[in-house]
């Protein structure tokens, strides 16, 4: 019932790079599997961009 009234809990995941740029914002109302995959994809991309 609380969810229907817009009173449910919400969680956000932020991925922020070393320069302080927000690279990903995920909200828990997205598909949880997609949310996790997207956050991990962004982290992998950041790691690949980092100098060796």
pLDDT digits (tens, 9 = 90+) for 1-52: 455 656 566 778 899 999 999 999 988 765 677 888 899 999 999 999 888 6
Model pTM above 0.85? no
Instruction: Check residue 51 and give its pLDDT.
Output: 81
- The 3-state DSSP class for residue 39 equals helix
- Start-to-end CA distance of the chain, whole Å, equals 51
**Residues 36 and 8 sit within 8 Å (Cβ to Cβ):** no
């Amino acid at each position: 019932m609380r969810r229907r009234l817009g009173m449910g809990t919400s969680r956000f995941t932020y991925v922020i790079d070393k320069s302080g740029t927000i690279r990903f914002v995920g909200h828990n109302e997205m598909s949880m599997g997609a949310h996790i995959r997207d956050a991990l994809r962004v982290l992998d991309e950041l790691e690949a961009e980092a100098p060796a």
